[in-house]
Chain A
């Protein structure tokens, strides 16, 4: 089935998640949508599969405009979506899951039937698994299956509902290599049958392997599209990386810091961290006071695990983290805070700030940790002045009584930074400038650089390669839980770094 999207717009509050998106997927094609997290890929696929409704724009299937308001509408129109985290019923059997959602098909076969025919459906399931070489048993409980097998079942379920277009959202996360091979084989088989496949991913190698065409999204917009088949893979990779990460900022000259003269302040040895989907291995890392280390890599390759472990929010499986000659491994989070370690999360309203509380109240929450420890009652008058001073200093566009969720992204980030203690030895930042305008970005880094001159270390994750190259002294590249040797940022260019991220470091 030919799928055509034309000028799709969708905003959440002031955020443009999808801005004028148009694309065409021919029947029998595998079409890739590539982009970092937050680029708007998921929003687009959810619009197509009926989970959210678009603000404006058209969806055409085989040249006919359709109105998709719910997932059931989408299924009826022949569009099915395989979600990143399987949306199924773990406590039911494989067959029950296969049968789920059939009433959505009320227009065709099962209309008017109350009792489903389990035997027939079990036969259909087995026959379909045979076609694709999947090994699924109708009576097994779903919770016993791996993520990959649950995906397989979901694909079969969607096919049995008559789906002509299949959307796969990050399908290769969390499945084994052999399951990935089976999945790709099945996808190619489906395309050969004339079905159209939309493959959403941030993994270059998957897209290169599978897709016929693709488009790259960044910050809610289409940056470009490309033919994949028959292209040289190295050349394709570097052009895709460039489209994904961009290079827009006109950047000031790089600062000069003489780090050799300073003492090593952060020492990591033989660190091993188990995450949900991958484990991270880091043999040795030594960071000098005042140094900035950029953690580069596609999202979900272990950077966040390292950051959380250094912040004291995640216990490593083994290994040692020493900060200023104190062994911090396995110590409580409050000891990390006392040692002058802070963490600025990427999701500001989820992990960093408290919805429903004003800027002023956030300052009060910080207050007792520093000077006025013994105080019980809040002195609203004095503390309001303090908050107002901070708002002026950090140039936050809001009043002290403004609730944090009413602030814009940039001002939320400024608030987070204004809440940092005056003295810090190590700051861990996740996407410090994501979604911010250039002015805020430059302002934030200016603050950070001033702190670094006083000896603060920074470890930060960013999906903006220019940002990493611009502000890091050294760079670690993460790929599949493995970490490269620290690379001197002066020796790198965006192209080289892009290739390293694509999994091509020695």
Chain B
């Protein structure tokens, strides 16, 4: 009798969460078996790919930084009840802004100030892209999903045009991007690796500020109110439109910093696919953390490890590196499915 009561105290949803995680792992294992690999070898291979050397750990962290920034931005729009699929375009727009600044500063300009200016230009570019999506959504009555996707194409097109047009390398225009910037215009890294302490500091700072704003300020609370019931929030006197627009701009600005980091810390130039799909990956992260800013760090770390770890798979196990996408997608799908089933069983 007593043991039964203890058993009852664990909320049902916990079982569904654990269950869905186990099912997701089984599903992933099945996929690996189907592509004639061994799940255990893959796990070992990915672990090795992500943490096998200092260089690889550094790469995990340099992927983590923009991912954290984009996820922080998305927490704002999600809290306001908006599915900002325009995050990719906002990252790209930030990268374009940063590249623009770095290209036009005169020779001999102090590099530290140039980089700071470039990051602010990234904030401006991303924020502008976010604002445009917000204006389309609120005043143009376009669903924020389609407004965002449309703005993604615009940013992508602009990046392609710049890389192949005005900003092309002298002589050759190619997908490999614009002329790389000098080393002085890059964020300093540790040793020969990709790890930039400044990028990590920026991302960590953004994460802390995000958690504070969402959890402890009136702004965050109002955002939550608008996201949960727009009409009632308006009736209660909350400036709903201003709140929604600012969430778009804040999200765009944070994504813009992510884009800047891609330019000044990772690629050192503008490439057509500068966002590297980190925006969409950040969407997966935020859906998994379920509006809770404190969970962003572990989940984002897991995802960037999976991303980097899978890069080694083609070499070591001759499996396609897109496996990491399958793993991330499966984790998310089964997590959502678990929540849905938990809800269904309650009714």
How far apart sit A390 and B224, CA to CA, in the bound complex (Å)? 22
Contact call A378/B221, Cβ cutoff below 8 A: yes
Contact call B235/A345, Cβ cutoff below 8 A: yes
* Given A376-B218, A378-B218, residue A366 in contact with residue B239 (CB < 8 A): no
How far apart sit A176 and B235, CA to CA, in the bound complex (Å)? 34
Chain B residues contacting A133 (CB-CB under 8 Å) are: none
Give 19 A-B pairs besides A357-B225, A365-B238 with Cβ atoms closer than 8 angstroms: A313-B235, A343-B235, A350-B229, A350-B231, A351-B232, A351-B235, A352-B232, A354-B225, A354-B233, A354-B236, A356-B224, A357-B228, A365-B236, A368-B218, A369-B237, A377-B217, A378-B216, A380-B216, A419-B236
B216 to chain A, nearest CB (A): 6
B240 to chain A, nearest CB (A): 10
Please tell me if B161 contacts chain A, counting CB pairs below 8 Å.
Answer: no
Contact call B216/A365, Cβ cutoff below 8 A: no
Identify 24 residue pairs between A and B in the complex whose beta-carbon atoms are under 8 Å apart, listed by A's number: A313-B235, A333-B234, A345-B235, A350-B229, A350-B231, A351-B235, A352-B235, A352-B236, A354-B229, A354-B232, A354-B236, A355-B229, A356-B224, A361-B221, A361-B225, A362-B236, A364-B218, A365-B221, A365-B225, A365-B236, A369-B237, A375-B218, A376-B217, A377-B216
Contact call A354/B222, Cβ cutoff below 8 A: no
Please tell me if B15 contacts chain A, counting CB pairs below 8 Å.
Answer: no
B208 to chain A, nearest CB (A): 14
Chain A residues contacting B232 (CB-CB under 8 Å) are: 350-354
Please tell me if B219 contacts chain A, counting CB pairs below 8 Å.
Answer: yes
Please tell me if A121 contacts chain B, counting CB pairs below 8 Å.
Answer: no
Contact call B224/A357, Cβ cutoff below 8 A: yes
Interface residues contributed by chain A, number (CB under 8 Å) = 28
Please tell me if A255 contacts chain B, counting CB pairs below 8 Å.
Answer: no
How far apart sit A337 and B238, CA to CA, in the bound complex (Å)? 11
CB within 8 Å of A: which of B102-118? none
A368 (CB) vs chain B CBs: closest residue: B218
Please tell me if A334 contacts chain B, counting CB pairs below 8 Å.
Answer: yes
Contact call A376/B221, Cβ cutoff below 8 A: no
B119 to chain A, nearest CB (A): 24
Chain A residues contacting B217 (CB-CB under 8 Å) are: 376-378
Contact call A355/B228, Cβ cutoff below 8 A: yes
How far apart sit A361 and B79, CA to CA, in the bound complex (Å)? 15
Question: Which has the most chain B C-beta neighbours within 10 Å: A353, A364, A365, A378?
Answer: A365
How far apart sit A356 and B229, CA to CA, in the bound complex (Å)? 9
Contact call A334/B239, Cβ cutoff below 8 A: yes
Chain A residues contacting B216 (CB-CB under 8 Å) are: 377-378, 380
How far apart sit A356 and B224, CA to CA, in the bound complex (Å)? 9
How far apart sit A337 and B237, CA to CA, in the bound complex (Å)? 7
Chain A residues contacting B237 (CB-CB under 8 Å) are: 333-334, 337, 366, 369
CB within 8 Å of A: which of B197-237? 216-219, 221-222, 224-225, 228-229, 231-237
B84 to chain A, nearest CB (A): 20
Chain B residues contacting A369 (CB-CB under 8 Å) are: 237
How far apart sit A391 and B235, CA to CA, in the bound complex (Å)? 21
Chain B residues contacting A376 (CB-CB under 8 Å) are: 217-219
* Given A352-B235, A369-B237, residue A364 in contact with residue B221 (CB < 8 A): yes
CB within 8 Å of B: which of A364-422? 364-369, 375-378, 380, 419
> Which 6 pairs across A and B sit closest by C-beta, in order of nearness?
A354-B229, A356-B228, A337-B237, A354-B228, A354-B225, A354-B232
How far apart sit A361 and B233, CA to CA, in the bound complex (Å)? 12
Chain A residues contacting B239 (CB-CB under 8 Å) are: 334
How far apart sit A367 and B225, CA to CA, in the bound complex (Å)? 14
Question: Which has the most chain A C-beta neighbours within 10 Å: B221, B231, B233, B235?
Answer: B235
B21 to chain A, nearest CB (A): 25
Chain B residues contacting A354 (CB-CB under 8 Å) are: 225, 228-229, 232-233, 236
Contact with A along B60-96 (1 / 0, CB 8 A): 0000000000000000000000000000000000000
How far apart sit A376 and B235, CA to CA, in the bound complex (Å)? 22
How far apart sit A352 and B229, CA to CA, in the bound complex (Å)? 9
Chain B residues contacting A368 (CB-CB under 8 Å) are: 218
How far apart sit A351 and B230, CA to CA, in the bound complex (Å)? 9
A188 to chain B, nearest CB (A): 42
B4 to chain A, nearest CB (A): 27
How far apart sit A351 and B236, CA to CA, in the bound complex (Å)? 9
Chain B residues contacting A351 (CB-CB under 8 Å) are: 231-232, 235
Chain A residues contacting B236 (CB-CB under 8 Å) are: 352, 354, 362, 365-366, 419
A60 to chain B, nearest CB (A): 28
B226 (CB) vs chain A CBs: closest residue: A354
B224 (CB) vs chain A CBs: closest residue: A357
Question: Which has the most chain B C-beta neighbours within 10 Å: A354, A355, A366, A367?
Answer: A354
Contact call B222/A365, Cβ cutoff below 8 A: yes
Chain B residues contacting A355 (CB-CB under 8 Å) are: 228-229
Chain A residues contacting B222 (CB-CB under 8 Å) are: 365
Contact with B along A316-342 (1 / 0, CB 8 A): 000000000000000001100100000
A100 to chain B, nearest CB (A): 26
Question: Which has the most chain B C-beta neighbours within 10 Å: A368, A369, A419?
Answer: A368
Question: Which has the most chain A C-beta neighbours within 10 Å: B217, B222, B229?
Answer: B229
Chain B residues contacting A375 (CB-CB under 8 Å) are: 218
How far apart sit A419 and B219, CA to CA, in the bound complex (Å)? 19
How far apart sit A419 and B232, CA to CA, in the bound complex (Å)? 13
CB within 8 Å of B: which of A205-235? none
How far apart sit A369 and B233, CA to CA, in the bound complex (Å)? 13
How far apart sit A353 and B224, CA to CA, in the bound complex (Å)? 13
How far apart sit A362 and B237, CA to CA, in the bound complex (Å)? 12
CB within 8 Å of B: which of A234-286? none
How far apart sit A218 and B218, CA to CA, in the bound complex (Å)? 43
How far apart sit A313 and B238, CA to CA, in the bound complex (Å)? 13
How far apart sit A88 and B202, CA to CA, in the bound complex (Å)? 53
Chain A residues contacting B238 (CB-CB under 8 Å) are: 365
B236 (CB) vs chain A CBs: closest residue: A365
Chain B residues contacting A365 (CB-CB under 8 Å) are: 221-222, 225, 233, 236, 238
How far apart sit A419 and B238, CA to CA, in the bound complex (Å)? 13
How far apart sit A369 and B218, CA to CA, in the bound complex (Å)? 11
Chain B residues contacting A333 (CB-CB under 8 Å) are: 234, 237
B209 to chain A, nearest CB (A): 12
A332 to chain B, nearest CB (A): 10
Chain A residues contacting B219 (CB-CB under 8 Å) are: 376
A37 to chain B, nearest CB (A): 19
How far apart sit A352 and B235, CA to CA, in the bound complex (Å)? 7
Chain B residues contacting A377 (CB-CB under 8 Å) are: 216-218
How far apart sit A361 and B227, CA to CA, in the bound complex (Å)? 14
How far apart sit A380 and B215, CA to CA, in the bound complex (Å)? 11
Chain B residues contacting A345 (CB-CB under 8 Å) are: 235
Chain B residues contacting A350 (CB-CB under 8 Å) are: 229, 231-232
A186 to chain B, nearest CB (A): 38
Chain A residues contacting B224 (CB-CB under 8 Å) are: 356-357, 361
How far apart sit A334 and B229, CA to CA, in the bound complex (Å)? 18
A395 to chain B, nearest CB (A): 22
A308 to chain B, nearest CB (A): 10
A440 to chain B, nearest CB (A): 21
CB within 8 Å of B: which of A424-470? none
Question: Which has the most chain A C-beta neighbours within 10 Å: B218, B228, B231?
Answer: B218
How far apart sit A333 and B231, CA to CA, in the bound complex (Å)? 13
Chain B residues contacting A367 (CB-CB under 8 Å) are: 218
CB within 8 Å of A: which of B234-258? 234-239
Chain B residues contacting A356 (CB-CB under 8 Å) are: 224, 228
